Structure 1
Amino acid sequence: MSDSELADTAVDMFRREFGGGPDSVWAAPGRVNLIGEHVDYAGGLCLPIALPHSTSAAVSPRSDGLIRLRSTEAGPWDGRLADVGPGRPDGWAAYPAGVIWALRENGLFTDDFGGVDVAFVSAVPIGAGLSSSAALECSLALALVSDADRVELAAACVRAENEVARAPTGGMDQAASLLASEGQALLLDSASDSMSQVPFDPEGLTLLVVDTRAPHRLADGAYAQRRGTVERAARRLGVGSLRELADQGRGGIDAVQSLQDDALRRRARHVISEIARVRLAVQALHSGDFAELGRLLYASHLSLSRDFEVSCAELDNAVESTLIAGALGARMTGGGFGGSAIALIPPGRVDEAVEIVRSRAEERGLTEPEFATVTASPPARRLI
């Protein structure tokens, strides 16, 4: 959906829901992470790009303190800021209502909040592991405080997701949505909060996203359990985060291998090796070595599947099938337990890759996947 189509749809929805036009319309993209999974909360490195797919927020302020939230994807929610806090409200409204709460808590509102009407229209597939929640959060945050520092806005959106929606995610998604650049991947260092742009020009190759349509849910116990295990491994090894060991090279790997608990050892091994893969991927992109990038993508998937155990039959099928079709590399992306995979496809092979993924999914009794080709796209922006 183009920016103009996204804006027009949001304006139409706002008029239907609230009886007049919005003051402004803003959009924020989803993201796909090229590499660096389940390491942002361990002080690690990740390398996302912003997607062409965005969520728009049509917004008008109120003066009576009421918050009215509408979405094409879910039922309505009306409330007040007093109704919002850690763990409330539940459901989809926790994300946008949480943003309003976090902006106030973080001191980003310069005036008393008078309420707001918001209509959301999303072109980011929901539940696909492409960060539809961050796109929603960031579109509203930018609409409400458009002149704020985007790093501060991202931090408020993360706080909303962690504390109000109770989703124990790191900050990669919001940073990518607000701070990525067209034609660039965003190298994020979670230990220092530094970031830099890395050229992402696949030179005739296609980045294919396979939405397995296996539901991707981060607020359940599996994601939190993985994060807790990583943090427990760091405590057992006497470091503040596993990033400290990742920076030690071979010594860090040796330290992780000394862990007696098998689950702790494998989870920590993934984190250490994944951080190393991100560094190598950045080198590969700077040198234009996409064969090496593909090798690193597949190595990342194997680590996520075997050591971190966050893949599933649908994701493994997508990766294996695209490799059969000649992909240079492929991996699951996002938190796992469903969601999407990415594959780096040579020229002229996209249709074949799609057909093989689809036919093998059917043979295995898996849900029929959906597909999109994507490029590194612009960050959150005003549409109207």
Structure 2
Amino acid sequence: MTAPADQPIPFYTKAEDLYANLGSSFDHQSRWNNLAKEFEKRFGRKPAYIARAPGRVNLIGEHIDYALFGVLPAAVERDILIACAPRSDGENHAPGTVSAQNLFGAKYVPQTFAPAWKVPEKEPSEKEVHAEGWHLDINTKELRWESYVKAGYYGVLNHYFKSNTSDGTSSTPVPVDMLVTGSVPAGSGLSSSAAMVVASTLTFLAINGKLEDANPINKGELVKMAMENEKRVGVNSGGMDQAASVMSTPSSALYISFFPTLAASPVPIPAGCSFVCANSLVVADKALSAKRGYNLRVVETLVGARILANKVGVEVGEKEKITFREVAGRLAGESVNVGDKEGLEVERLVEVLERLVNEVEALKPKREKGSVDEHELGVTLEEMIELSGLDKDLFNEVYLSWVDVEATHFQLYKRAKHVYTEALRVFRFRQACLAGGSSSGESTIEQLGQLMNESQESCAELFECSCPELNLLTKLAREAGAVGSRLTGAGWGGCTVSLVREDQVENFIAKIRDTYPPYKGLEGDKLNEVIFATRPTTGACVFKFVD
């Protein structure tokens, strides 16, 4: 069986083949038809292609990807669609000019832009000889919707149009008109930004004929390109979002591992299961949550890994930022060479993780009874530096010089406990699904729900990335009949995901509408924007219009 990364991008020319793979809980055909008609209305001709990239929901495995442990996302039926066609040769425009419009025009203003070829001021050095030549303005401090379109364009320009000459001997990018629409809620933790970059990348590949040449890009190559493209907007992604959007298959989640290399494999979801995504309607303050939230958690997990490695006798380089996954691997005697695609066998890794869940108790600080901080599980910066075994200057260089964090106590024990128990939950979730396949019974569904509930408790109590609204929403979800419910995405706001039996979805959504205060009074499209059911669906694809 061909690995997901090596498979070609699905390319459709028949509508019935396309819609058969997109799921049934969303009116896909109407959206695609409406987009095509609106494109023709605005640009005076039919689109040549429509590129699609879905959002994703992480079923389990939160905040462990940057510790290099595997995660289990699934593509959702909500997606980004981009209709496009080459612009007329008779029009006056620069090579590669893009006229980008959005169906939500009141919120997203139409944009026209063209890539510029950067001529070096001096002869490039040997290191600079392969530096990119194309330039597009992207303001990473004030992200606009077209920034994600430009980000998708960059990879195509610099991969396929590496030189630009005035004598006509070098090909230039095709000028394009494009119309965008999306059903993935922005800022909800369902990766609308990754879907936008993937869809944009596919659009420029399609319009320039790169999906129909003799050696078209495969899914793995598209993931890598989309990851690099998203860095243009200041997002340093580990690859989960892009891999889920590109590599997913119908009725399956995607197990994505990051060590020793990025890899993905399908995990069948039991029949009769639906996943309901519910937006808490809390949007985290990214500037504040980064310093006290995401960035702080990254530092805590990295420092915790070094200190734990010291305590269990694992060797760490002086300036090395070892991860919790690497601690487990070295403790097990794992030998990873350049080019290796597989690390420890799952059974051996699980065995080591179960040991480390107990070993992390050593990260609890020793406190005197009766002291003010007797029950404080965190450590001060000074205590953390001492535990690391590094001097202050070297510690700052390795762990703090590249990131801005804010804390009085660093919760090394709590973060380590979450990472290792969450990694185990991912393996158990995956194994339960694989053991029964899509025909898994009620006991399997109950097991999956329990693992999701344990994950939410760990996110709330140990990783502290939940918030009162997410805690309330998951509680109400269980009371409304969800088998399991947890936050999904980074947390501190955004969405929950609940495992609900398919025949109970309608009643479940009605109960959440009636009990979650921000949903009171919502009906129809407004309700459907904040809470919706989905089955795992297929990944990114392109539809070509043929006469």
- TM-score, reference length from structure 2: 0.63
1:375 and 1:223, CA in 2 relative to 1: closer, same or farther beyond 3 A? same
From 175, 186, 210, the equivalent of 1:126 is 186
Quote the offset at 1:319 in angstroms. Answer: 0.8
Matches within 5 A, 1:92-107: 92-105=145-158, 107=159
Quote the offset at 1:109 in angstroms. Answer: 5.1
The equivalent residue for 2:237 is 169
CA contact (8 A) 2:514 2:520 kept: no
Aligned partners of 2:501 and 2:33: how far apart in 1? Answer: 36
The letter of the residue matching 1:337 is: W
Residue 184 in structure 1 maps to residue 252 in structure 2:
yes
From 44, 47, 56, the equivalent of 2:72 is 47
Aligned partners of 2:362 and 2:175: how far apart in 1? Answer: 55
1:233 and 1:294, CA in 2 relative to 1: closer, same or farther beyond 3 A? same
The equivalent residue for 2:407 is none
CA contact (8 A) 1:168 1:223 kept: no
The equivalent residue for 1:226 is 297
CA contact (8 A) 1:318 1:341 kept: yes
Aligned partners of 1:235 and 1:61: how far apart in 2? Answer: 53
Aligned partners of 2:110 and 2:285: how far apart in 1? Answer: 21
Quote the offset at 1:160 in angstroms. Answer: 2.4
The equivalent residue for 2:114 is 80
Matches within 5 A, 1:1-384: 1-61=26-86, 64-73=95-104, 74-81=108-115, 82-84=135-137, 87=140, 90-105=143-158, 107-108=159-160, 111-145=171-205, 146=211, 147-161=216-230, 163-191=231-259, 192-201=261-270, 203-215=271-283, 221=290, 222-236=293-307, 237=309, 238=316, 240-246=322-328, 247=349, 248-259=352-363, 260=365, 261=379, 262-287=410-435, 288=440, 289-346=444-501, 348-362=503-517, 370-384=530-544
Aligned partners of 1:197 and 1:135: how far apart in 2? Answer: 19
Give a deviation string over 1:190-236, Cα, whole Å, max 9, x none: 112121111112x3343222222323676862434433443343355
Aligned partners of 2:517 and 2:47: how far apart in 1? Answer: 45
Quote the offset at 1:57 in angstroms. Answer: 0.8
1:223 and 1:67, CA in 2 relative to 1: closer, same or farther beyond 3 A? farther
Aligned partners of 1:225 and 1:72: how far apart in 2? Answer: 38
Give a deviation string over 1:216-274, Cα, whole Å, max 9, x none: 67686243443344334335544622212354324433454333534233223222221
Aligned partners of 1:44 and 1:366: how far apart in 2? Answer: 41
CA contact (8 A) 2:152 2:229 kept: yes
Quote the offset at 1:320 in angstroms. Answer: 0.4
SS at match of 2:187: coil
The letter of the residue matching 1:27 is: R
Comparing 149-158 and 241-250, the one that deviates more: 241-250
SS at match of 2:155: helix
Percent identical among aligned pairs is: 27
Comparing 289-298 and 346-355, the one that deviates more: 346-355
Quote the offset at 1:276 in angstroms. Answer: 1.0
Comparing 306-315 and 213-222, the one that deviates more: 213-222
CA contact (8 A) 1:120 1:136 kept: no
Aligned partners of 1:251 and 1:54: how far apart in 2? Answer: 41
Quote the offset at 1:121 in angstroms. Answer: 0.8
How many residue pairs get matched? 381
Larger radius of gyration: 2
CA contact (8 A) 1:61 1:114 kept: yes
SS at match of 1:97: helix
Structure 1 segments unaligned to the other structure (5+ residues): none
Quote the offset at 1:120 in angstroms. Answer: 0.9
Structure 2 segments unaligned to the other structure (5+ residues): 1-25, 88-93, 116-134, 163-170, 206-210, 310-315, 329-348, 366-378, 380-409
Give a deviation string over 1:281-306, Cα, whole Å, max 9, x none: 01111233111111100111111112
Aligned partners of 2:362 and 2:39: how far apart in 1? Answer: 58
CA contact (8 A) 2:136 2:150 kept: no
CA contact (8 A) 2:273 2:535 kept: no
1:113 and 1:233, CA in 2 relative to 1: closer, same or farther beyond 3 A? farther
Over the aligned positions, Cα root-mean-square deviation in angstroms equals: 2.9
Comparing 116-125 and 176-185, the one that deviates more: 116-125
Quote the offset at 1:335 in angstroms. Answer: 1.7
1:234 and 1:223, CA in 2 relative to 1: closer, same or farther beyond 3 A? same
1:118 and 1:356, CA in 2 relative to 1: closer, same or farther beyond 3 A? same
Comparing 261-270 and 90-99, the one that deviates more: 261-270
Quote the offset at 1:307 in angstroms. Answer: 1.7
CA contact (8 A) 2:65 2:258 kept: yes
CA contact (8 A) 2:95 2:173 kept: no
Aligned partners of 1:66 and 1:154: how far apart in 2? Answer: 25
SS at match of 1:379: coil
Aligned partners of 1:129 and 1:30: how far apart in 2? Answer: 9
Quote the offset at 1:364 in angstroms. Answer: 11
1:188 and 1:362, CA in 2 relative to 1: closer, same or farther beyond 3 A? same
Bigger fraction of residues in strand: 1
1:218 and 1:37, CA in 2 relative to 1: closer, same or farther beyond 3 A? farther
Aligned partners of 1:365 and 1:225: how far apart in 2? Answer: 35
The letter of the residue matching 1:66 is: T
Aligned partners of 1:377 and 1:217: how far apart in 2? Answer: 31
Quote the offset at 1:175 in angstroms. Answer: 0.7
Aligned partners of 2:494 and 2:521: how far apart in 1? Answer: 13
Comparing 238-247 and 119-128, the one that deviates more: 238-247
Comparing 166-175 and 180-189, the one that deviates more: 166-175
1:363 and 1:377, CA in 2 relative to 1: closer, same or farther beyond 3 A? closer
